[in-house]
Chain A
Amino acid sequence: MNDLVIAKNISLSYGKLEVLKDVSFNIKENDFLAIVGPNGSGKTTLMKALLGLVPVDSGIFEFNASIDKKDIGYLPQSSFLQDKHFPATVKEIIATGLQSQSLFKFSKENEKEIRQISGLLDIKDLLSKKIGHLSGGQHQRVLMARALVKKPKILILDEPTSALDPKIREDFYSLIHHLHAHENVSIVLISHDLQSVNQFAKNILYLDQKVIFFGSVDEICTSEQLINQIGAQAVTSLCHREEHEHYIHT
């Protein structure tokens, strides 16, 4: 299994505040990596650094030769409230995920790409609706479409279900699972939702400014460092894997 991204000794401070300290991990092909940790532990910042949105003080991200910018999809933390008044249709928003283009009108190929992803995410009938006139779940699916329209190899999701109802959450996770299992997308999921992490993750990165644990879900049960950090009960809820049939589409 190839590494798609290797992070080596990433350190980052905002002024005197050390946000990330010597963080190393990697993302493999067909991975499902969950990044967990308390609030303010640097999870979002770590992903932003990986995406090139914030500069690091030291350390490096190494990308596999087969990966370039268009191969990384990004679903940032929810902008549901801000978008309420933004003047744009769903189609226009999804289109911003397409490669940079110089024409006012969409090409035939672009139209096709948008149609395909809207079909997959079941938002075809929302295309001409305003972004501010959607429900939370619909809004999230639109931004997923934006992240996926260029068929990325890696998809980074930052707290994707925090603003969603439990029922919608389930649907959302089955979608992610589908992408992982059937479309060969490596998933990197930042989440507080330990149950979902427990359900789907192959690997876990537990972050609290520095790496407390990085390894597979199997290894996590016996991680002493983690047990010391968050207590045995919390570790159990992370490592105990329940096989829920209906989350796995065949």
Chain B
Amino acid sequence: MNITSILELLTFPFLQRAFIVGSLIAISSSFLGIFLVLRKYSMIGDGLAHVSFATVALALLLNSSPLIVSIPIVIGASFLILKLSEENKIGGDAAIALVASTSVAIGVFISSLASGFNVDLFSYLFGSILIISQLDVYLSIVLSIVVISTVLYFFHDMFAVTYDIDFAKVSGIKTNRVNQIIAILTSITIVLGIRVVGTMLISSFIIFPTVIALKLQTGFKKTIAIAVMFSLFSVLTGIMISIIFDFPTGATIVLLNAILFIVASIFSILTKKG
């Protein structure tokens, strides 16, 4: 692959959209990731994706838009996860597993009502970062603006709740509201993320960059900034590598994240010793 053919490829709209939407979704996810990982809700991306399985099945059964059906129900599921992990003293991970597996069962049930699975359902959940419509681009722009501005606006409270929720309550922060905001932002990011880049990518966008940044052991704001940088890097570089070597793009991005994680781990071990 020479430089001219690469440049030529970059003129294709589908690739330009992959870069733009991939970056927007990656950045939005990185802004949210730290609040989820530190509160031990790392699996929520995966869990809510399972809920989406049921909501998309329902939408296809009712012949309506998966996006419109999914968003309110997924938000509801995220609230349920919050409630379960607080009130019943079961951990976030158990709450997520409960809601996720129940949702898959509901999705299977709904599919059976339609006398069998719809192949369309699976292809919807897998998605591809290379098959992005103009509408998807607009939605991603709106999503990023909403997520980033909300996180910045509520940043102090979100950080306080993440570090020490009791103290936050004592200092007058409405911790329930903060948790709900995080849940809502996560839900819409997941639902839209599944639609535009597929389940595999969105789950990794939420967790990987944050976990990698945490390895570098620095302040809170810096950690978010580093996560954003890493996620952007993995998207842009991942797409480029997949073009040059004719690799599947989404999988390349995820694997690149995994490699970065290994590198960061080695780095943190070395710096500890030194």
Question: Chain A residues in contact with chain B, CB under 8 A?
Answer: 48, 51-53, 69-70, 72, 74, 76, 79, 85-89, 92-93, 95-104, 128, 130, 132, 146, 150
State how many angstroms separate the Cβ of A82 from the closest Cβ of chain B.
9
Q: What residues of B have a CB within 8 angstroms of the CB of A87 in the complex?
A: 34, 38, 213-214, 217-220, 222-223
Q: Mark B19-37, 1 if CB is under 8 A from A, else 0.
A: 0000000000000001000
Q: How many residues of B contact A (CB 8 A)?
A: 29
- Say yes or no: B170 contacts A53, CB within 8 Å: yes
B156 at the interface (CB under 8 A from A): yes
Are B159 and A92 touching (Cβ within 8 A)?
A: yes
Q: Is the Cβ of B171 less than 8 Å from the Cβ of A92? A: no
A51 to B169, CA, bound (A): 9
Q: How far is the CB of A62 from chain B (nearest CB, A)?
A: 18
**B86 near A: Cβ within 8 Å?**
no
Point out residues on B near A: beta carbons under 8 Å: 34, 38, 152-157, 159-160, 163-164, 166-173, 213-214, 217-223
Question: Among the listed A89, A104, A150, which residue makes an inter-chain contact with B155, where contact means beta carbons less than 8 Å apart?
Answer: A104
* A151 → chain B closest CB, angstroms: 13
- Nearest B-chain residue to A51, judged by Cβ: B170
Contacts of A72 in B (CB 8 A): 170
Report A-chain residues with C-beta under 8 Å of the C-beta of B220.
Answer: 87-89, 92
Q: Which residues of A are found within 8 Å of B34, using beta-carbon distances?
A: 87
The answer, among B38, B172, B214, B221, for a CB contact under 8 Å with A100, is: B172
Cβ–Cβ < 8 Å partners of B159 in chain A: 88, 92, 96
Q: How far is the CA of A102 from the CA of B174 in the complex (A)?
A: 13
Minimum Cβ distance to chain A for residue B230 (Å): 14
Instruction: Specify which chain B residues have a CB less than 8 angstroms from the CB of A97 in the assembled complex.
Output: 167, 171
Contact A99 B167 (CB under 8 A): no
Q: Determine which of A51, A69, A88, A100 lies in contact with B156 in the assembled complex, contact meaning CB atoms within 8 Å.
A: A100
